[in-house]
Amino acid sequence: MRPPRLDLAFSLTTTQESFRDELRAWLGANVPREREPDDEVGRFAFRRAWQARLHAAGWAGISWPVSYGGRGAGPIEQFLYYEELAWSGAPEIADTPGLLIMGPTLMVHGTDEQKARYLPRILGAEEIWCQGFSEPGAGSDLLALRCAARVDGERLIVDGEKLWTTLGPVADQNAVLLRTAAPVDGKRHTGLTMAIVPHEQPGVRVIPLRQITGEHEFAQIFFEGAVAPETIGAVGDGWSVALTILDAERADQGFTDHARLLSMLHEVRELTERAAGDGVLPQDAVAEIRHRTDALAGRCQLLAELNLGRALATERGERMGSWGSFLKLYWSELWQAVAELGLDVAGQRGHADRDWAREYLLSKAATIYSGSNEVQRGILATRILGLPRER
């Protein structure tokens, strides 16, 4: 049974309805019915094949301009796109950093040759990308980086280390933020360069990092005389490119989460009713779970309205700015609450289609990545509420 859709006080245009209906029909005929493999290697291959299928049908990179292989979809179409993916139970794509972050960044800062070389391969997951930002000791302070490079003719020679690199273990290309010159007048954002470092070379050592789920989505990467044959943007203009990457990261984040979380709650409801019917759960426990489920569904409704408001504002040309911190804070804690509820019910029921233990453990990272929730609260306090900074 499909989960109930949220009722939003918003009317679609004829074009938007046609877009949604076409996508819904295609997903109905093409979403894989088999479960993702349980092993990490098999799961990644499954998602890579799914992204290639999306691309072949013109459903990958929908917000990309048509000239680059996308559909030129606006924010409302993106909102609908992610909803339909969630409702249909579609797999995740393989190369999120490439499709949502690095592709749009190359469109802004890349040369014509780089766009022709990289963009088609990003869309079809033929090449996997990661971004080398975080470093040991730098924490959330990106400008504290120490990974450096020296210019050697038309290439850079890179030495240093990056940490917590998403998709690092499987990436082919790494967009690495490097220091290529000393800061000017103490301004740390100067003297930085964004370089493309291929992983398949002697000077790159990738060490997968084991997460609490037992998987290895992240990596610690050492560069020891590694060659960066080209840069994104000019040497010394790395901070401008980094800001584009951060904007791209925020641009897609959140549009899909309300539908995905509501689908998970629908699974919890079905699991609860089966457990109640089998007599596995006592009635007082069933009542408590129903109450928690309804409360979380209400929070999903609010998240949906926030996401829609964000899409409408973006379509008007407004920038999300610090409100992105609020959305990140809200959905990350909501995901954790939904996953905890699912784990509670699955633990008492003894069987579920979803691996709720893995979902619970995955959700724990949500309040840390993309800027920890402590950092987000600080941003909200100073930039939205106007509170004084802590001394």
Please indicate, yes or no, if residue 110 is contained in any of the structural domains: no
> 350 falls in which pLDDT band (50, 70, 90)?
low
Residues 137 and 194 both lie in one domain: yes
Residues 277 and 380 both lie in one domain: yes
Q: What is the mean pLDDT of the chain?
A: 90
Which range has the worst mean pLDDT, 143-152, 198-207, 376-385? 376-385
* CATH number of the CATH domain containing 167: 2.40.110.10
pLDDT in tens, 128-157: 999 999 999 876 688 999 999 999 999 999
- The pLDDT > 90 percentage for the chain reads 68
Sequence-distant (≥ 6) Cβ neighbours of residue 388 within 8 angstroms: 382
Please indicate, yes or no, if residue 102 is contained in any of the structural domains: no
pLDDT in tens, 211-257: 999 999 999 999 999 999 999 999 999 999 999 998 787 665 545 68
Predicted pLDDT at 196: 98
Q: How far apart are CA 179 and CA 146, in angstroms?
A: 7
The string of DSSP codes covering 184-203 is: BTTBTTSSEEEEEEESSSTT
Q: How many domains does the chain have?
A: 3
Predicted pLDDT at 110: 97
The string of DSSP codes covering 294-319 is: HHHHHHHHHHHHHHHHHHHHHHTT--
Radius of gyration from C-alpha coordinates of the chain: 22
Whole-model pTM? 0.89
Residue positions annotated with a catalytic role: 249
Average pLDDT (328-342) is 94
Residues 374 and 261 both lie in one domain: yes
Cβ-count burial of 143 within 10 angstroms (0-12 exposed, 13-18 middle, 19+ buried)? middle
Please indicate, yes or no, if residue 221 is contained in any of the structural domains: yes
Residues 378 and 262 both lie in one domain: yes
Q: Which of 155-159, 214-218, 353-357, 363-367 has the highest mean pLDDT?
A: 155-159
Average pLDDT (177-191) is 93
Predicted pLDDT at 255: 53
Which range has the worst mean pLDDT, 174-188, 216-230, 265-279? 265-279
Predicted pLDDT at 349: 63
Predicted pLDDT at 1: 41
Per the structure, the complete domain to which residue 223 belongs is given by 129-237
* CATH number of the CATH domain containing 84: 1.10.540.10
Residues 202 and 287 both lie in one domain: no
Question: Residue 4 pLDDT > 60, yes or no?
Answer: no
SS3 content of the chain, % helix, strand, coil (to 5): 50, 15, 35
> 162 falls in which pLDDT band (50, 70, 90)?
very high
Predicted pLDDT at 27: 97
Residues 276 and 190 both lie in one domain: no
Predicted pLDDT at 221: 98
Residues 233 and 275 both lie in one domain: no
Q: How far apart are CA 329 and CA 221, in angstroms?
A: 29
Question: Residue 198 pLDDT > 60, yes or no?
Answer: yes
Q: How far apart are CA 66 and CA 73, in angstroms?
A: 9
Predicted pLDDT at 347: 81
| 55 or 2: which leads in pLDDT | 55
H/E stretch holding 238: helix 238-252
Q: How far apart are CA 206 and CA 68, in angstroms?
A: 31
